[in-house]
């Protein structure tokens, strides 16, 4: 009797080449097949994996990893410094979606068979996070040689599962690695099936046609909770949700208007209605699960204050904006509610929902020197996939991150903020970094660069029989310890 697990998810697998994958879901499956030098635990803490340990210099420009011995890839190739070199150098060619992770690297030196040293161009305190990122997984050098870039269809790693089959647009199957170095794998196969309709996904779980579903549609929690065979798993994530406003232009250039927006938003209602309750109100510019998070006071919902601020700023009669949102139903709902709530302080406007591609296309279309007649409010979301405060702030609120470079779509620019961000990267010393990010969080919270909303809670659901699969704060999941019990 084989133990086969079906994992039903919203998304489809796009690639199985870790270096050329940009989506979390594909990355998570890759993590079941391949491993990196470092990895994350359940709570997104960085733990050594294929590396035993690492050291770094004070200036955060040199990182040395000691590799674990005696590990073999699924195809029999040895894991060693050579394998790491091949992989890192592949990423450094700049051709792949995750090449940017190795952008700071000047060179990679093989000190001996089981020691590698990264030399960086400039200080980069968050480099270990980059190494732990699923984009930096290590593929078998043999497979890379055999398949070249076709490796995306034949990923070979050191992980608990061996790649079995991928029918593009349909399912991916992985099977047990009998020789896994960390111990016995307890299931025979896992099949990942895309079921985009959330109702269908839950229906499959309830009908026993799936063992684990993610995301569990929060709207349907009531049903799932009633079902005795189903376990609900909730887990705080690192996904921040916020409303982007163009801070370079009237009226959002006026901090009072931005603050009014924050007072006007009824985050609690939005979480409850639009998000099915699966979120917690934002209490800092970065989510609690990120490194160096520092809690702030939640912005209260206070219409009177909001109106007063609007009046003070000279917008007693309000103004018109356009609301932009991706057309995924929960984002649409949240934006729709923001539209309803902001109407109460006179910020009105039509809503445009569109597919994600068009959405970002549109946001990227704005330039800081544009003369856009109509200000916008856009529903933004960010998952700092390295788990580090730097990646949770720099691409979003630093001046260097104005599009098209990065994702500061609201053109928020503040000298002090830029200063804190630089300071946070200047050292790999956790204490120094912590201080910089704490200052940053304290400082920027009142500046209201966004309409703060909330941090997602990840909700998954599984059959009671299934143990050991859990979601991770970055939206990925871990299947290494999966187990079917009767």
CA angle (326 as vertex; 129, 405 as ends), nearest 5: 45
Interaction between residue 198 and other proteins (CB under 8 A): yes
Selected binder of other proteins within 43, 45, 229, 350 (CB under 8 A): 350
- Cα–Cα nearest to 376, from 391, 363, 361: 363
- Check the CA dihedral 82-137-463-188 and report its sign: negative
- Binding residues for other proteins restricted to 17-46, rule: CB under 8 A: 20
Choices 192-200, 235-243, 305-313, 432-440 (CB under 8 A): range interacting with other proteins:
192-200
CA–CA dist 23, 97 (Å, integer): 10
User: Closest separation between CB of residue 364 and other proteins, Å?
Assistant: 7
CA–CA dist 65, 59 (Å, integer): 17
Interaction between residue 217 and other proteins (CB under 8 A): yes
Interaction between residue 352 and other proteins (CB under 8 A): yes
Comparison of 249 and 323: residue with beta carbon closer to other proteins: 323
Selected binder of other proteins within 69, 153, 372, 416 (CB under 8 A): 153
Q: Mask: binding to other proteins, 160-189, rule CB under 8 A, as x and -?
A: -------xxxxx------------------
For residue 277, give both structure tokens.
């309750």
Interaction between residue 320 and other proteins (CB under 8 A): no
Choices 28-36, 277-285, 326-334, 372-380 (CB under 8 A): range interacting with other proteins:
326-334
Interaction between residue 314 and other proteins (CB under 8 A): no
DSSP-assigned letter for residue 72: B
User: Closest separation between CB of residue 438 and other proteins, Å?
Assistant: 30
Q: Per the omega criterion (within 30 degrees of 0), is the bond before 93 cis?
A: no
Angstrom CA distances, 354 to 325, 360, 472, stand at 7, 10, 28
Choices 14-22, 36-44, 181-189, 376-384 (CB under 8 A): range interacting with other proteins:
14-22
Q: Mask: binding to other proteins, 397-416, rule CB under 8 A, as x and -?
A: -------x-x----------
Selected binder of other proteins within 88, 195, 265, 425 (CB under 8 A): 195
Comparison of 399 and 427: residue with beta carbon closer to other proteins: 399
In contact, 201 and 210? CB cutoff 8 Å: yes
Interaction between residue 456 and other proteins (CB under 8 A): no
In contact, 461 and 213? CB cutoff 8 Å: yes
**Could you tell me the end-to-end alpha-carbon distance of the chain, in angstroms, rounded to an integer?**
13
430: which residues sit within 8 A by CB, 6+ positions away?
Answer: none
Selected binder of other proteins within 351, 426, 438, 484 (CB under 8 A): 351
CA–CA dist 458, 460 (Å, integer): 7
Interaction between residue 358 and other proteins (CB under 8 A): yes
Selected binder of other proteins within 92, 110, 223, 255 (CB under 8 A): 223
- Check the CA dihedral 120-99-424-476 and report its sign: negative
Comparison of 95 and 416: residue with beta carbon closer to other proteins: 95
For residue 299, give both structure tokens.
């912005």
Q: Mask: binding to other proteins, 97-126, rule CB under 8 A, as x and -?
A: x--x--------------------------
In contact, 244 and 359? CB cutoff 8 Å: no
Interaction between residue 485 and other proteins (CB under 8 A): no
Interaction between residue 232 and other proteins (CB under 8 A): no
Selected binder of other proteins within 235, 353, 413, 478 (CB under 8 A): 353
In contact, 193 and 171? CB cutoff 8 Å: yes
User: Closest separation between CB of residue 332 and other proteins, Å?
Assistant: 7
Comparison of 12 and 413: residue with beta carbon closer to other proteins: 12
Residue 402 backbone class (left: φ over 0; alpha: ψ -120 to 50; beta: rest): beta
DSSP 300-342: P--HHHHHHHHHHTT-TT-EE-EEEEE-SHHHHHHHHHHHHHH
Q: Give the CB-side neighbour count of residue 386, counting CA atoms within 13 A.
A: 22
User: Closest separation between CB of residue 171 and other proteins, Å?
Assistant: 6
- Applying CB under 8 A, the site for other proteins has a residue count of 62
In contact, 43 and 247? CB cutoff 8 Å: no
- Binding residues for other proteins restricted to 287-306, rule: CB under 8 A: none
The 10 Å Cβ neighbour count of residue 296 is 16
Footprint of other proteins (CB under 8 A): 8, 12, 14-15, 20, 97, 100, 149, 152-153, 167-171, 193-200, 202-204, 206-207, 209, 217, 219-220, 222-223, 266, 269, 272-274, 327, 329-330, 332-333, 336-337, 339-340, 350-358, 360-361, 364, 404, 406
């Amino acid at each position: 009797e084989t133990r086969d697990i079906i994992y039903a998810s919203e998304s489809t697998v796009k690639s199985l080449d870790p270096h050329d994958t940009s989506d979390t879901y594909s990355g998570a499956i890759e993590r079941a097949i391949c491993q990196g030098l470092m990895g994350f635990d359940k709570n997104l803490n960085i733990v050594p994996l294929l590396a035993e340990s690492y050291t770094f210099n004070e200036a955060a420009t040199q990182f040395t990893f000691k590799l674990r011995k005696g590990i073999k890839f699924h195809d029999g190739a040895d894991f060693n410094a050579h394998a790491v070199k091949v992989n890192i150098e592949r990423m450094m060619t700049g051709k792949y979606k995750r090449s940017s992770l190795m952008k700071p690297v000047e060179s990679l030196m093989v000190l001996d068979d089981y020691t590698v040293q990264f030399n960086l161009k400039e200080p980069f305190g968050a480099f270990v996070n980059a190494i732990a990122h699923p984009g930096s997984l290590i593929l078998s050098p043999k497979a890379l040689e055999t398949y070249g870039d076709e490796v995306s269809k034949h990923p070979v790693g050191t992980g608990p599962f061996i790649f079995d089959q991928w029918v593009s647009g349909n399912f991916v199957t992985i099977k047990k690695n009998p020789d896994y170095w960390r111990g016995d794998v307890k299931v025979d196969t896992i099949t990942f099936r895309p079921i985009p309709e959330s109702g269908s996904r839950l229906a499959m779980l309830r009908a026993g046609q799936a063992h684990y579903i993610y995301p569990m549609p929060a709207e349907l929690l009531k049903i799932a909770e009633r079902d005795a065979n189903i376990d609900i798993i909730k887990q705080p994530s690192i996904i921040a949700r916020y409303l982007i406003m163009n801070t370079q232009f009237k009226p959002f250039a006026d901090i009072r208007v931005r603050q009014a927006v924050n007072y006007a938003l009824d985050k609690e209602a939005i979480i409850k209605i639009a998000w099915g309750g699966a979120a917690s109100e934002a209490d800092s510019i970065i989510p609690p699960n990120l490194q160096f998070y520092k809690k702030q006071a939640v912005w209260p919902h206070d219409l009177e204050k909001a109106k007063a601020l609007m009046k003070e700023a000279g917008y007693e009669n309000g103004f018109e904006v356009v609301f932009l949102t991706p057309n995924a139903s929960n984002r649409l709902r949240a934006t729709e509610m923001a539209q309803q709530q902001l109407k109460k302080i006179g910020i009105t406007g039509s809503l445009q929902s569109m597919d994600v591609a068009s959405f970002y296309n549109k946001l990227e279309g704005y330039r800081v020197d544009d003369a856009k007649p109509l200000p916008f409010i856009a529903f933004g979301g960010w998952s700092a996939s390295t788990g580090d405060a730097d990646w949770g702030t720099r691409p979003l609120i630093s001046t260097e991150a104005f599009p098209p470079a990065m994702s500061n779509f609201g053109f928020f620019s503040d000298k002090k903020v830029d200063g804190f961000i630089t300071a946070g990267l200047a050292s790999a010393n956790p204490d120094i970094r912590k201080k910089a990010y704490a200052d940053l969080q304290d400082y920027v919270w009142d500046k209201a660069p966004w309409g703060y909303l909330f941090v997602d809670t990840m909700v998954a659901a599984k059959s009671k029989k299934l143990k050991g699969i859990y979601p991770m704060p970055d939206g990925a999941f871990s299947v290494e310890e999966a187990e079917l019990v009767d």
